[in-house]
Amino acid sequence: VKYRPHYLAAWNNMAAALWYLGRYKLARKSVQQALALNPSYKPALKNAKLLERSAPRATPPGKKRDPKIKPDTVITEPGLQR
């Protein structure tokens, strides 16, 4: 993203990588950046919803994190190694 800041898939992939690492706040920022570039980008829309449901800090008080969401549920573009 440093060299191609308008590359949508890179922001989405970075969000997925950060999510795998448990860096939820940065993952949300990366997804938000992808959606700022294209609000209808389906992989980022899905990842934003998954992050909202599964990331501990994204869970509002009184709600439980969805334990069924696993890190490999995140949508990535080709090229991101798991």
Structure tokens belonging to residue 52: 């909202």
- CB of 27 within 8 A of CB of 58? no
Provide the whole-model pTM: 0.68
Note whether 40 and 8 are within 8 A (CB): no
Per residue in 6-61, pLDDT (tens digit) is: 899 999 999 988 988 888 889 999 999 999 999 999 999 998 988 888 766 544 55
Provide the pLDDT confidence category of residue 80 given band limits of 50, 70 and 90: very low
Closest CA to 71 of 63, 80, 62, 79: 80
Q: Do residues 28 and 19 make contact, with C-beta atoms less than 8 angstroms apart?
A: no
Rounded to whole angstroms, the Cα distance separating 62 from 11 reads 31
The end-to-end CA distance of the chain, in Å, is 19
